[in-house]
Amino acid sequence: DWGHAADYVEMQWLMLQQDEPDDFVIATGKQHSVKEVIETAGKQLGISIRWEGKGIREKGINKENNQTIVAVDPSYFRPTEVDNLLGDASKAREKLGWEPRISFEQLVSEMVTEDMKEAQKDNFCRQEGYKTYDHFE
């Protein structure tokens, strides 16, 4: 369940406006895989991805130049990972009138745009002889 912080903060604000405290699920109610995130980001960057392998051997390859651009790294596996995360925010919709406004595609687009800005800054610093740090690791 991928959602935008701005939508979630709006819902939190709506929750705080209620006369009585209550519990609400903050979620979009729409499920997207990590593959979908990668493919959507690739599309924004003009990269078409072909998937090869299965499980921990799976990798995404740029169709244009056959370069591997993403691969599964078991060191990032979480021992208590839940395979299926999908929230039901129907109570928030009914009681608060809340609806997420930012789409999955818009969220990924914003993430790509911000990451590109950071990469451009790092590249500029390196070109000018400054050391940069891999802050995405």
Percent of the chain with pLDDT strictly greater than 90: 82
> What confidence score (pLDDT) does residue 91 get?
96
Is residue 132 one of the residues assigned to a domain? no
Q: Is the dihedral of CA 57, 53, 115, 127 positive or negative?
A: positive
Q: Which of 23, 55, 77 represents a domain boundary (last residue)? A: 77
106 and 7 in contact (C-beta within 8 Å)?
no
Across 71-76, average pLDDT: 91
Whether residues 15 and 45 fall in one domain: no
Across 77-82, average pLDDT: 82
The helix, strand and coil proportions of the chain, stated in percent and rounded to the nearest 5, come to: 45, 10, 45
Q: Which of 53, 77, 101 represents a domain boundary (last residue)? A: 77
* pLDDT of residue 136 exceeding 90: no
Count of C-beta atoms within a 10 Å radius of residue 111? 16
Per the model's pLDDT, the better-predicted residue between 84 and 108 turns out to be 108
62 forms beta bridges with 49
Give the chain's largest Cα–Cα span.
Answer: 59
Is residue 53 one of the residues assigned to a domain? yes
Nearest to 26 by CA among 41, 15, 35, 38: 15
> What confidence score (pLDDT) does residue 36 get?
96
> What confidence score (pLDDT) does residue 135 get?
66
CA–CA dist 21, 83 (Å, integer)? 31
Number of domains the chain is built from: 2
Is residue 129 one of the residues assigned to a domain? no
The residues near 91 (Cβ < 8 Å, ≥ 6 apart) are 24, 25
The domain in which residue 68 lies consists of: 32-77
Whether residues 70 and 39 fall in one domain: yes
